[in-house]
Amino acid sequence: MSFSVVGVYALPLRNRFRGITVRHGVLLEGASGFGEFCAFEDYSDEESVPWLAAAVESCSGSWPAPVRSRIPVNCTVPAVSAERAFEIAAASGCSTAKVKVADPGQSIVDDCDRVAAVRSALGPSGAIRVDANAVWSVDEAVTAIRALDRAAGGLEYVEQPCRSLPELAAVRKRVDVRIAADESIRRASDPMKVAVTGAADVAVLKATPLGGARRALEVAEACGLPCVVSSALESSVGLAGQIALAAALPSLDFACGLGTISLFTADVTDSSLRPSAGFLPVPSRPAEPTLLDGVRADPETERRWLSRLDRVTALLG
């Protein structure tokens, strides 16, 4: 496997997201350019193998041919106050917002207030989707979805309200809002064989944990559902591979969750992939990480991530 390590980054987040305040990852360089290994820290070495495969595809391989030159994106609203949620949505320039709900320590009232604030910011024609990250039971999901749908004046869909596919299917039968599957696909032992059609209306795909844009394109075809491409909270280097997947999908019915660089206070490159008027351009390759020196991880974090990279590289073969 031919790549070299460029460095380990530490990107601070503007707000706590997925329980973290700093995102880490390793930037790689190969014959085709740059790649990024940034498996979530709660992923085992085995689960992290596809993340490295995606990085290798980016820096040493190629992406599928694009069929569009720009991607519609949603803004992402973390589990912040209603006032802050309004500010984020209003400033985004996007007509679609993905709102995080069911955060530890917050109530359904907090979630509904946040969603209502986003509706106020987007206006009646905007689209609102929510993401519960699989924390609800079936009954909790049904109750919460109905309340959130009222607060939003109509939800576009609810992403991964429960953990398992049978639970998603049970919720789907009891609510009038589309259900989207995310973790059920990307954390499956074989994403190509996940039977999501009875459990979800939308498939949320992340190229990075699925092994790269080419592999994720195969998963999209296998699942047989409308697809939304979503970020795995990468820097602009890794995000470029996600955009490559969105650009290659035969059809794209929903805005994608790729406007996530705004969640960070910095980036690894001065060519950040930030949306303009709700769209992202499709890059041909990841940009060079020209700003890495300003966001390098501390020595202990660097050692930990390089050790992890070595272990996962050995598993990838």
Q: Can you tell me the distance from the alpha carbon of 306 to that of 28, in angstroms, rounded to the nearest whole number?
A: 11
> Does 149 count as an annotated binding residue?
no
Is residue 193 annotated as a catalytic residue, yes or no? no
Is 183 assigned a ligand-binding role in the annotation?
no
98, 100, 173, 193: the active-site residue: 100
3-state secondary structure of 202: strand
Q: Identify the active-site residue in 98, 173, 193, 206.
A: 206
For residue 49, the Cα-to-chain-centroid distance in whole angstroms is 18
The pair of three-digit structure tokens given for residue 99, joined into one six-digit string? 């709102």
**131 assigned ligand-binding residue:** yes
DSSP code of 220? H
- Helical packing angle, 45-60 and 213-223, nearest 10°: 120
| C-alpha torsion sign, points 98, 254, 11, 307 | positive
Which among 231, 291, 286, 293 has a CA at the least distance from the CA of 262?
231
Contact (Cβ atoms closer than 8 angstroms) between residue 110 and residue 147: no
Q: 206 an active-site residue? A: yes
Positions marked active-site: 100, 206
Please give the annotated binding residues for Mg(2+), written as ranges: 131, 159, 182
Please give the annotated binding residues, written as ranges: 131, 159, 182
